[in-house]
Structure 1
Amino acid sequence: MNNISELKSKGIALLPRLLHNLYFWQGLFALFLLAMAVYFVQHEQIELVSIRQQLQKAKTLYLLLGGLLVCGHILLQGEMYFRSFRALGKTIPRSQTILLFLKRNLISVLLPAGGFSSLAFFSRPIESEQVNKTHVYLASSLYGTCGMLSVIIIAVPALGFALLRGQLQTPAVLGFVFLVLLTTAMVAALVSFLRQGWAYGLLHKRLPQWATMLDEITREPLDRTQLWAALAASVGIECIGVSHLYIAMLALDYPASWPAAFIGYVVMMILLIASPVLRGLGAIEVALTFILNQYGLPVVAAASVTLLFRLFDFWLLLLAGVGSFFIRKDSFLLRVFPVLLLFLTGIVNILSVIAPAVPARLQFVQGIFPHQVISASNGLVMVAGIILLLLAVYLLQGSRRAWVLAVVLVSLSIVGHLTKAIDYEEALFAAFTLISLLYTRSAYILRSHPLYTRLSILVLVYGLLLVLLYGVIGFYFMDKVHFGVDFSLDLSMRQVLRLFFTFDNAGINPLTPFAHWFIFSLYTAGAAYLVFVLYGLLRPYFEQPFNSAEEKALATELTGKYGHSSLNYFKTYPDKLFFFTPDKQAFVSFKVWQHVAIALEDPVAANSETIKAAIRAFDEYCTENGFISAYYRVPEENLPLYTSLGKKSFPIGEEAIVDLPSFSLEGSKMHANRNAVRKLTAEGFIFKVYDPPIKAGLLQKLEQVSTLWLQEKGKAELSFTEGVFDPAILINHPILTIEKADEKVYAFLDVVPSGIPGMAVYDLIRQLPDAPNGILDMLLCQTFLYFKAKGFEKVNMGLAPMSGIDGKNIPQKTIRYAYENLRAFGHFKGLRKYKEKFSPTWEKKYLVYEDDYQLLQVPVALKKVSEASV
């Protein structure tokens, strides 16, 4: 009873919130419109079969004309955006404005008040130094305003003329009244806003963001010529809409009427403006069918015209919107989509062979091709389907040879589907897959392993001979009792080839367990043969580059001349590889895991132009050798170099930089650090500096601290952006320790060379597991004071991963949420909090990559190259 009472009280409390919630009423109204559509169809008993028959009779010429006008509609929508930006003095490529319309039009179907709310989406691709977010919103507002005005320009005269002629029915009259009231309200609100009257005050109170935007519009100097051009383009769009309705009548061979086309289109636009969700889907179809019926078309004819019109004016535009997400060849969807299509094509191939053919089609094919061709086509489609399922795995990896084989097999599948039973549906699906493969051909660059290729060729030849020999001998010497057939040598060979290449066992009937086992053994041998050959031919080859001692010396020399980074020391660390530009005046420091080459920060070069040339050369080298390239910990100020080359970036964290001239242990912010130093000093802990060369005895003590620290943390040494404990390296580095009078080391760090004048950099910082609390605080505080006394101006404390991510898009928002809320990422947050104790400034660092699909591969590769030994 308590639970029921609690639920009842919650329901009573929720009811007032629902009644005052705009989205609740919008959803309710949308459900009412959809229910009205269902009721209308049932009430009028529209025969869907009749409508389909009518649509199938549509005249091809008018369908092509309608499709051509759809292209004109898209171009004019892009022109509207283009002119809206030009009105603000900004120039955006028309290709970008067309894509902007297509994507916003697609998402508008899913949004409340989609025609307007969609204007807030997909602005990032066109934002630049010259066009900021405010400009995008202003231009979008001008675009929306022109769209509303064009409807009024077309609708008011058309409805007014029809009203005077007495041709308007009650729904259209109500629509006309609504439009007049809407126009009057818009004009009154605009005048009031410009005079800062009631509309101005209401908007600032209820929607301050929109009010600010409108203030910007009124203050921004607008090019009226461009605004008139945008309005003209919008009027052209309305004329295309009317023409689409008129063409739909002609295409279905019904009496075409311009008044019906105008009135029907205007009523549709009124419903579109008033519709809260789904862009009037359902309600528009019902209303337009009713209007056309009032103009003399039978219900079935009116419904057929309406559906064809909606195909032109709605569905084709939505389909183009879906396609707009696949335009960019670096799109994640476009990288995965062909693989999915290939996998589905394999399944379709297999199911097509298993399923019975359409009798009429099969009979037609049998009159053209002999039985052997039809049988071979079935076998070809089946085998191709099985291989395509395997190829999908290698295609996802990016294998070039897998792509070539996929193109060949899909092409053969198209032919096979047509010759086995004119299965044009399957052939069209395979053709679509083929087009997607050809369009994305540049994404498949990985070479196959030469050793496995040679082995596969040997297996291809000798394995085939052995399997065929096994089958032929088996059939030839097989007793008649097993199959009921006395196999000759010729029949044995033909039967083995049929079983092996087409999995077709027609004509043989195993009569004994041994015969069943023999057939199964042939299938097993064939499958094993096929899998091994494909594995060897398609397995990607990841060549491991290497550098000579002379190249290592050259890299060190160039780093000394041109290096301006706190990571300079690690760019020539023993674990790194070097790629040099042809003139040997710049190099990229990188590591490779499988087919991913990760460069450490920027190339080392004399200037920005040389850096840019080095990036281009390194990318070409990676492409030629089957690698994908990524750049790790790129400074924010250098991002324009990469974006100018078409690359993308993702924030990975922030580096903490401590200002040494202002650093001291005084003040309230340093209270905890000051107490730690005082407490440990009182307990006998001292700070010591050891200059190189470091003695062997001290290195042994440091190694013991390092080993215990790694064991306590439960992890192995990491490299790439940091060093590992190597006595041969540490012997040449200054070592700073916290120890006691007995010279027992409790914590230490080593100082490494810095490529930035005035900046100190330290690397390994480790402590004993049983060291007292605050030992690292004391070590760092004393280290910073030591650097300050040495004349350094800054010290780099390293990266705080995932820190400072703004959450500008969905991936960033996801990572930021994980960083802020998930326990698994708590140590990253704790690292940021610990470094905050020293009052640093923060500098953002980025991962630079080529396309979105790489975000699935680069993090794994980064983890692997960091784990690799020196």
Structure 2
Amino acid sequence: MHKAKSFLSSLVYNKFFWQFFLAIFMLGMAVFFIRSQHVEVVQITRQLDTAVPAYVVLGMLLTGVYIIAQGQMYVYSFKALDVDISLVNSIKLFLKRNLISIFLPAGGFSSLIFFTREIEEKGISKSKIHLSSTLFAFCGILSVVLVAIPVLGVALLSTKLGQTEILSFLFLLVLTAFLFITIYSISQKTWAYRYISKLRPSLSTVFDDMIEEQISRKHFWLTLLVSIAIEFIGILHLYICMLALGFEASIPAAIVGYIVMVILLIASPFLRGLGTIEVSLTFILGQFGFPLIAAATITLMFRFFEFWLPLIGGIVSFIMKKDSIVLRLLPAFIILILGVVNIISSITPSIPTRLRLVKNIIPEDLIVTSNALVLIFGLILVMLSIFLLQGSKRAWYVALALTLFSILGHLLKAADYEEALLALVAGASLFYTRENYQLKPHPRFVKISYAVFIYAIVAVFAYGVVGFYFMEKRHFGVEFKFTDSIVAVLKVIFFIDDRALHPLTTFGVHFEESIYGASGLVMLFIIFSLLKPYFSKPYNTAEDFTEADALLKDNGISALDYFKTYPDKFVYFNEARTAFISFKITRHFALVLEDPVAGSVEEKLAMIQKFEERCRDTGFIAAYYRVPEESLDMYKSLGKKSIPIGEEAVLDLTKFTIDGGKMKTTRSAINRLSGEGYVFNVYKGQQKEGLLQKLQTVSDNWLRDLNQKEVAFTQGVFDKTILKNQTILTIEDQEEKVYAFLNLVPDYAPGEATYDLIRKETDAPNGVLDMLLAKTFLFLKEEGYQYVNMGLAPLSGIDGEDLTQKTIKYAYENLKAFAQFKGLRKYKEKFFPEWKKKYLIYGHHYHLLQVPNALKRISEGS
């Protein structure tokens, strides 16, 4: 009952809920109005079909001018604060804010705080961005008032205005006055400043910076002038809609209708007046003598120009970012759709009127051949879509060529201009995203494919020629000569229609089908072979790893450096062999462990560039895992992107002690276990087989209990040959049974130690890992180490700067699937370490979807 009351209370006082409810109510009222007034959708559709194309095109062009004008408003509003921003960036800013305003409460105002990062990256302060946006909004409202006063005055003299129009105008005056008073109050730091600062203390600093800014009067007036021009564009839009639909256009109706629409747009709590504006504008136009269906149709066309086209522009502005995931996936999806459309179009009957038109111009054999080729292109395009997702450069070339051939094929086979248009869109999307397709197949592998291609074609051709030459007459009704056999095979392979080549027996049918099948299989195999990026593994000699170990001793600076020459890794050197990169490969990914090993930042940068070039030439995508925060600028200079993946715990041993209240729980566990006879042992170098077998038992039980298998890449695996030469630390009982152990591995960070495996027995007593770690830290402190690296706590410390990080942060904090990561962070925190952020470096947001699975595969050795 208490939960129910709490829920109802939160609902009643939830502003967003009521705004959303009001918006849905308005949409419902719009539906009710349409039904009650018998506004037939079919009649509106018929009315729209009669629209004059020239006026529709003019309206769309005017929408383009409207969007450019909105961008110019932003240019002048920023220039008023002596900030330069390009018109292109301003247009993108408007389109994005306009799109998101639909989904925000009071979207016209609340959207102004979004999409500031790109501008901030150019060195422009938040206070200037927010002040410019405020100036933009203020001029947008003030321009409506300035336009409304004279035009409504004229309309009042020439037309009888209703109570609705007059009240709407009064509301606009009140709103403008309130906005002006609020801005003045903030500038004077009176009631509005105090109230907003109390509500959001962080805004007080922004307000202070805004108050200190000097605004250029010239550019303020230019902003207002452009805003006034935008209002006249809106009026002209409504006027054009009347002309486009063949009605007698009314200037007063266009003026009053537009002004009321803008007022409702400003006052709209949600969805930018969707539903409310449609009903209100239809009603107002009705007062000016327009029939109901005509008024509704004019309204819908006007909303198409002023609402839906800019909305589509906003969606496109998101998609058309070069690093957009949608844009990365879209061409492959369009190619897949084009392939399916090609297949369906080739096997379904053509439209008779179009087919007759084509037959009067083009020979019938060419029409049939075009139809067959469209089918083949469709099959190939479906296959190509997979390789386009991988980023194959060769697949891009083939797909672009096939889209052009598809355009021609669809036009030739039956003047199917709709399918040809889809092919044109597919080709355009491929051309626009051409930079995303860089993976090249290995030259040696391609050479093999060419050889297979030639042999396969020769084999199929020879099979067909020999078959037709020795074919008995009764199977096809024709006695084939050698030249006839060659022509017949070519016609079958290339789907050229020939009514003389018609099988009369079952054997003849099967023989013809066998050539079709063999040709198709060969073609698909060759396409697969030529397009598939080369995913073979590189090879390193024992001398390579010896050189890499030597470089680590000279230039190693990280706790992860030891694992860069671990048996599961590959190493790639520069030409001088003074630097190297450690990596693993899986499918088309080369995952690099941390930074390159080199003597300087410049050499690291050159090493990364060389490795990236090598990856492009051999068909791999490079990503860099667990990169330290101090290396981010190096990767950003190469155009790479980054995302935090967690924090590494580093314990300061000079301050570590098990004394004091903070370590009471750990100290109690040590005292209890010591009293029960458990001891801490250190085994240095050359371990005996008996100890290694005990450790093997603990390790196997540990993995079995957790239902896991060994994982590598950033850590080691249980390998007796490796552990034999390392320092082992254990917790044992009086009978020398090992209950927990860890092994120390080389750490190349100055004064730092680190451990790798840390495992315990199934029946180990509570607190055994606490005792093992605390005793290990004290041992390392005695050995003279200043720090100990405790490893990564995955997903911890993510601030949530963008949508991706906010999603990860929410999942980490709220989902059960990530509880183990939270537990790991909490466990390490009991020793009070310092935390250092680690990052994943990648090239495209699309790769971010694939890297987690790639990491899983290489860690598990698959």
Per the normalisation by structure 1, the TM-score is 0.87
Deviates more, 1:625-634 or 1:457-466: 457-466
Deviation of the 1:176 alpha carbon: 2.4
SS at match of 2:494: helix
Checking the alignment, whether the CA contact within 8 Å between 2:75 and 2:86 is kept in structure 1 is yes
Deviation of the 1:369 alpha carbon: 0.7
SS at match of 1:738: strand
Counterparts of 1:487 and 1:144, CA distance in 2? 85
Deviation of the 1:234 alpha carbon: 2.8
After superposition, the Cα gap between the structure-2 partners of 1:670 and 1:625, relative to the gap in structure 1 and judged at 3 Å, is same
Deviation of the 1:215 alpha carbon: 4.4
Counterparts of 2:793 and 2:65, CA distance in 1? 52
Counterparts of 1:304 and 1:813, CA distance in 2? 43
1:36 to 33, 38, 61: 33
Deviation of the 1:666 alpha carbon: 1.7
Q: Which residue of 2 aligns with 1:668?
A: 661
Task: Deviation per CA, 1:573-598: give whole Å up to 9, x if none.
Answer: 34333334455554332222222111
Task: Deviation per CA, 1:55-110: give whole Å up to 9, x if none.
Answer: 33x25xx836x555434433333343345455566655554333222122223334
**Structure 2 residue 349 is matched with structure 1 residue 347:** no
Deviation of the 1:257 alpha carbon: 6.2
**Structure 2 residue 60 is matched with structure 1 residue 63:** no
Deviation of the 1:427 alpha carbon: 0.5
Task: Deviation per CA, 1:804-833: give whole Å up to 9, x if none.
Answer: 233444433443344334444333222222
Q: Which residue of 2 aligns with 1:324?
A: 317
Q: Which residue of 2 aligns with 1:567?
A: 560
Deviation of the 1:210 alpha carbon: 10
Ranges in structure 1 where 5+ consecutive residues have no aligned partner: none
Counterparts of 1:551 and 1:740, CA distance in 2? 44
Counterparts of 1:170 and 1:88, CA distance in 2? 41
Correspondences of 1:106-125 after superposition (within 5 Å): 106-125=99-118
SS at match of 1:369: coil
Deviation of the 1:331 alpha carbon: 1.5
2:49 to 48, 52, 59: 52
SS at match of 1:664: coil
Correspondences of 1:229-628 after superposition (within 5 Å): 229-246=222-239, 259-285=252-278, 287-288=280-281, 306=299, 308-448=301-441, 453-454=446-447, 456-471=449-464, 485-486=477-478, 488-489=480-481, 496-502=489-495, 514=507, 517-548=510-541, 551-582=544-575, 584-628=577-621
Checking the alignment, whether the CA contact within 8 Å between 1:34 and 1:281 is kept in structure 2 is no
**Structure 2 residue 671 is matched with structure 1 residue 678:** yes
After superposition, the Cα gap between the structure-2 partners of 1:138 and 1:643, relative to the gap in structure 1 and judged at 3 Å, is farther
Letter in 2 for 1:221: E
Task: Deviation per CA, 1:13-32: give whole Å up to 9, x if none.
Answer: 99978999343223212321
Counterparts of 2:52 and 2:23, CA distance in 1? 33
Counterparts of 2:793 and 2:91, CA distance in 1? 41
SS at match of 1:160: helix
Task: Deviation per CA, 1:766-809: give whole Å up to 9, x if none.
Answer: 33444433222212111111122233222110011122233444
After superposition, the Cα gap between the structure-2 partners of 1:147 and 1:672, relative to the gap in structure 1 and judged at 3 Å, is same
Q: Which residue of 1 aligns with 2:24?
A: 27
Checking the alignment, whether the CA contact within 8 Å between 2:726 and 2:744 is kept in structure 1 is yes
1:101 to 94, 97, 102: 94
After superposition, the Cα gap between the structure-2 partners of 1:18 and 1:403, relative to the gap in structure 1 and judged at 3 Å, is closer
1:223 to 209, 215, 223: 215
Letter in 2 for 1:657: V
Task: Deviation per CA, 1:690-741: give whole Å up to 9, x if none.
Answer: 3335556655554554455445544443322122344444444333333356
Deviation of the 1:48 alpha carbon: 3.0
Task: Deviation per CA, 1:232-280: give whole Å up to 9, x if none.
Answer: 4433433433344455566678776655544343232123223344433
**Structure 2 residue 744 is matched with structure 1 residue 751:** yes
Letter in 2 for 1:432: V
Counterparts of 2:621 and 2:18, CA distance in 1? 50
Checking the alignment, whether the CA contact within 8 Å between 2:102 and 2:270 is kept in structure 1 is yes
After superposition, the Cα gap between the structure-2 partners of 1:87 and 1:781, relative to the gap in structure 1 and judged at 3 Å, is farther
Deviates more, 1:402-411 or 1:232-241: 232-241
Counterparts of 1:260 and 1:210, CA distance in 2? 46
Counterparts of 1:329 and 1:817, CA distance in 2? 27
Deviates more, 1:463-472 or 1:397-406: 463-472
Checking the alignment, whether the CA contact within 8 Å between 2:635 and 2:841 is kept in structure 1 is yes
After superposition, the Cα gap between the structure-2 partners of 1:559 and 1:80, relative to the gap in structure 1 and judged at 3 Å, is farther
Checking the alignment, whether the CA contact within 8 Å between 1:332 and 1:853 is kept in structure 2 is yes
Checking the alignment, whether the CA contact within 8 Å between 1:163 and 1:173 is kept in structure 2 is no
Deviation of the 1:428 alpha carbon: 0.7
After superposition, the Cα gap between the structure-2 partners of 1:54 and 1:506, relative to the gap in structure 1 and judged at 3 Å, is farther
Counterparts of 1:11 and 1:758, CA distance in 2? 55
Checking the alignment, whether the CA contact within 8 Å between 1:647 and 1:850 is kept in structure 2 is yes
Counterparts of 2:420 and 2:215, CA distance in 1? 53
Deviation of the 1:433 alpha carbon: 0.2
Task: Deviation per CA, 1:154-205: give whole Å up to 9, x if none.
Answer: 2223223322444645543343233233334434555566667776677678
Counterparts of 2:645 and 2:498, CA distance in 1? 58
Counterparts of 1:85 and 1:667, CA distance in 2? 58
SS at match of 1:325: helix
Per the normalisation by structure 2, the TM-score is 0.88
SS at match of 1:806: coil
Q: Which residue of 2 aligns with 1:856?
A: 849
Counterparts of 1:674 and 1:11, CA distance in 2? 45
Deviation of the 1:568 alpha carbon: 2.4
Deviates more, 1:502-511 or 1:428-437: 502-511
Counterparts of 2:308 and 2:416, CA distance in 1? 26
Letter in 2 for 1:750: N
Counterparts of 1:113 and 1:853, CA distance in 2? 33
Counterparts of 1:295 and 1:396, CA distance in 2? 56
Counting matched residue pairs gives: 858
Checking the alignment, whether the CA contact within 8 Å between 1:156 and 1:179 is kept in structure 2 is no
Deviation of the 1:304 alpha carbon: 6.2
SS at match of 1:347: helix
Ranges in structure 2 where 5+ consecutive residues have no aligned partner: none
Checking the alignment, whether the CA contact within 8 Å between 1:648 and 1:851 is kept in structure 2 is yes
Counterparts of 1:298 and 1:780, CA distance in 2? 84
Counterparts of 1:670 and 1:90, CA distance in 2? 55
SS at match of 2:52: helix
Deviation of the 1:478 alpha carbon: 5.9
Task: Deviation per CA, 1:266-296: give whole Å up to 9, x if none.
Answer: 2321232233444334554555566567667
Letter in 2 for 1:316: L
Checking the alignment, whether the CA contact within 8 Å between 1:336 and 1:396 is kept in structure 2 is yes
Q: Which residue of 2 aligns with 1:846?
A: 839
SS at match of 2:319: coil
After superposition, the Cα gap between the structure-2 partners of 1:487 and 1:186, relative to the gap in structure 1 and judged at 3 Å, is farther
Letter in 1 for 2:25: L
SS at match of 1:21: helix
Counterparts of 1:235 and 1:606, CA distance in 2? 62
Checking the alignment, whether the CA contact within 8 Å between 1:591 and 1:598 is kept in structure 2 is yes
Q: Which residue of 2 aligns with 1:720?
A: 713
Checking the alignment, whether the CA contact within 8 Å between 2:723 and 2:743 is kept in structure 1 is yes
Percent of pairs with identical residues: 49
Task: Deviation per CA, 1:395-444: give whole Å up to 9, x if none.
Answer: 21222222221111111000011111111111111000001111122222
